[in-house]
């Protein structure tokens, strides 16, 4: 992987004491290994930081972050950064196109409603093959956002990409958010959605025997928890899980959480806030909140676990994959070094070669598991 130095004096504000590097020096060293295409997103976020969770009332904070997270919001920010950074007539800079990518087109996209626990909830269906008469395999996708923010709109681009690349139906699920609706509200909504999709497979043109479940970050956490409930309640069968940089241990004290605690998409104060908000009065050690703490994962379906090299959640994602493997579950694990948390969303803003590799891996694994 080609990397570039980002040696600017503003990044080092500490000094070495008795041979031990300060947090800021360690952060500087990490930034030097960022993929140059991920660096563009990093710079855009650094120059346009969003509000902190305690700066605004929850609805206003959520709306502000969702605006930044949507394709249109990050698209406009990155466009400014690229234009300022690039002075070459060829419209390229550091291997990155100065023109952000366009939203992937899917032949058929439709919003649906399903009966959630406390009323109708939204599902967005992406079907790249709407004229196919045979039932199609499908991925049920649960968006991330720390259980507190984001919607199916913020993850529209990655769902479009998965549908197109894998050639399968993708059903993106919305759910109630904390802190207004703490654990297990969102989890129960996601479980209800999986059961509704299975029960209504014919109307959705999907094959109920070829359903996968997946999500990113907190959506990965909910994916694992839904699979636990499915096992416990004898729910609709899921044949594959797609885990994208998942949060699987609420109280993890890993090296990556320390190394990337500040300045890498998921700052420590944000993580603390969303975890406390989601947990409510619950126990953070509950396996439905911290799937890595479950004693038995042997019932889980085969998995692909993807992590990012510059992500606080990297190490626990790896540990989750190792636990699955140790308990006899077929699992592929891949860490994409040089990438940031959420890079599969970011790749539709800035062209990312590594992001394309990750998406191709997701598609390949989904096709194999779903017998496409």
**What pLDDT digit, counting tens, does each position of 109-123 carry?**
999 999 888 999 999
Strand residues in 167-272 grouped as ranges (E): 169-173, 206-216, 240-244
Does the structure show a pLDDT above 50 at 153?
yes
Structure confidence by residue, pLDDT tens digits, 128-138: 999 999 999 99
Q: What is the dihedral of CA 153, 155, 156, 158, to 10 degrees?
A: 180
Question: Token pair of 297, please?
Answer: 């994962």
| Average pLDDT over every residue of 295-315 | 98
CA 343 – CA 366 distance, rounded (Å)? 19
pLDDT recorded at residue 246? 98
Structure confidence by residue, pLDDT tens digits, 63-109: 887 776 665 545 555 555 555 555 444 444 444 444 556 778 999 99
pLDDT recorded at residue 181? 97
Most confident listed range (10-19, 150-159, 241-250): 241-250
Catalytic residue among 157, 217, 277, 290, which?
A: 217
Most confident listed range (15-19, 32-36, 65-69, 351-355): 351-355
The share of the chain scoring above pLDDT 70, in percent, equals 82
Question: Token pair of 74, please?
Answer: 């990050």
Average pLDDT, the chain: 85
Task: Describe the crossing of helices 353-370 and 36-47 by its angle, rounded to 10 degrees.
Answer: 110
CA 58 – CA 64 distance, rounded (Å)? 10
In this prediction the pTM is 0.86
| Average pLDDT over every residue of 142-156 | 95
pLDDT recorded at residue 3? 34
Of the candidates 231, 244, 234, 257, the one whose C-alpha atom is nearest the C-alpha of residue 320 is 244
- Assess contact for 223 and 215: CB atoms under 8 A: yes
pLDDT recorded at residue 260? 94
Structure confidence by residue, pLDDT tens digits, 14-30: 223 333 333 344 444 45
State phi, psi for 192 to the nearest 5 degrees.
-60, -40
Neighbours of 208 (CB within 10 A): 16
pLDDT recorded at residue 9? 24
CA atoms within 13 Å, Cβ hemisphere of 244: 28
Catalytic residue among 35, 189, 216, 311, which?
A: 311
More confident residue, 366 or 19: 366
List the 108-116 sheet strands across, edge first: 108-116, 119-127, 169-173, 136-142, 206-216, 240-244, 303-310, 331-340
Tokens 């998921």 belong to 266
Question: Token pair of 60, please?
Answer: 């206003």
Does the structure show a pLDDT above 90 at 277?
yes
Of the candidates 101, 121, 97, 99, the one whose C-alpha atom is nearest the C-alpha of residue 111 is 121
Whether 311 sits among the annotated catalytic residues: the reply is: yes
CA 352 – CA 186 distance, rounded (Å)? 32
Question: Token pair of 231, please?
Answer: 């096992």
State phi, psi for 127 to the nearest 5 degrees.
-130, 105
Most confident listed range (78-92, 100-114, 260-274, 289-303): 289-303
Consecutive H or E run containing 369: helix 353-370
Question: Token pair of 299, please?
Answer: 């019932």
Of the candidates 146, 104, 148, 145, the one whose C-alpha atom is nearest the C-alpha of residue 126 is 104
CA 78 – CA 96 distance, rounded (Å)? 11
Give the architecture-level CATH label for domain 108-370.
Answer: 3-Layer(aba) Sandwich (3.40)
pLDDT recorded at residue 25? 41
Residues 6+ apart with CB under 8 A from 47: 77, 81
pLDDT recorded at residue 299? 98
Question: Token pair of 263, please?
Answer: 């300045």
Assign residue 167 a region (left: φ > 0; alpha: ψ between -120 and 50; beta: otherwise).
left
Whether 341 sits among the annotated catalytic residues: the reply is: yes
pLDDT band per the 50, 70, 90 thresholds, residue 146:
very high
SS3 341: coil
Whether 194 sits among the annotated catalytic residues: the reply is: no
| Average pLDDT over every residue of 235-249 | 98
Quick one: 261 exposed, middle or buried, by C-beta within 10 A (0-12, 13-18, 19+)? middle
Least confident piece of the model among 34-38, 292-296, 310-314 = 34-38
Domain chopping of the chain, boundaries: 1-33, 108-370
Question: Token pair of 319, please?
Answer: 């540990």
Does the structure show a pLDDT above 60 at 49?
yes
């Amino acid at each position: 992987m080609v990397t570039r130095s980002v040696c600017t004096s503003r990044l080092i504000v500490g000094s070495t004491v008795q041979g031990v590097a300060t947090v800021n020096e360690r952060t500087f060293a990490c930034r030097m290994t960022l993929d140059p295409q991920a660096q563009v997103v990093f710079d855009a976020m650094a120059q346009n930081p969003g509000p902190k969770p305690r700066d605004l009332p929850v609805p206003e904070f959520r709306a502000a972050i969702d605006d930044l997270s949507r394709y249109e919001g990050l698209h406009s920010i990155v466009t400014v950064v690229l234009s300022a950074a690039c002075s070459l007539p060829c419209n390229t800079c550091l291997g990155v196109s100065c023109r952000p990518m366009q939203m992937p087109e899917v032949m058929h996209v439709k919003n649906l409603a399903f009966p959630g626990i406390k009323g109708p909830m939204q599902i967005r269906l992406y079907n790249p093959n709407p004229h196919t008469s045979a039932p199609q395999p499908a991925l049920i996708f649960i968006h991330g956002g720390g259980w507190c923010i984001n919607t199916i709109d913020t993850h529209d681009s990655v769902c479009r990409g998965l549908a197109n690349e894998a050639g399968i139906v993708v059903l993106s699920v919305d759910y109630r958010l904390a802190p207004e609706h703490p654990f297990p509200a969102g989890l129960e909504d996601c479980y209800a959605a999986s059961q509704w999709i299975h029960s209504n497979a014919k109307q959705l043109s999907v094959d109920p025997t070829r359903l996968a479940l997946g999500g990113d970050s907190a959506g990965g956490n909910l994916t694992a928890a839904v699979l636990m409930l499915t096992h416990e309640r004898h729910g609709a069968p899921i044949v594959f899980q797609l885990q994208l940089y998942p949060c699987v241990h609420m109280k993890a004290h890993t090296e990556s959480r320390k190394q990337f605690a500040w300045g890498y998409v998921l700052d420590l104060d944000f993580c603390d806030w969303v975890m406390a908000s989601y947990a409510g009065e619950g126990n953070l050690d509950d396996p439905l909140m911290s799937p890595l703490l479950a004693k038995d994962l042997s019932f889980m379906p085969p998995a692909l676990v993807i992590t990012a090299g510059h992500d606080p959640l990297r190490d626990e994602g790896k540990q989750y994959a190792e636990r699955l493997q140790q308990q006899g579950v077929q699992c592929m694990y891949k860490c994409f070094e040089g990438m940031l948390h959420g890079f599969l969303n970011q790749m539709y803003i800035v062209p990312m070669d590594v992001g394309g590799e990750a998406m191709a891996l997701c598609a390949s694994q989904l096709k194999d598991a779903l017998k496409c």
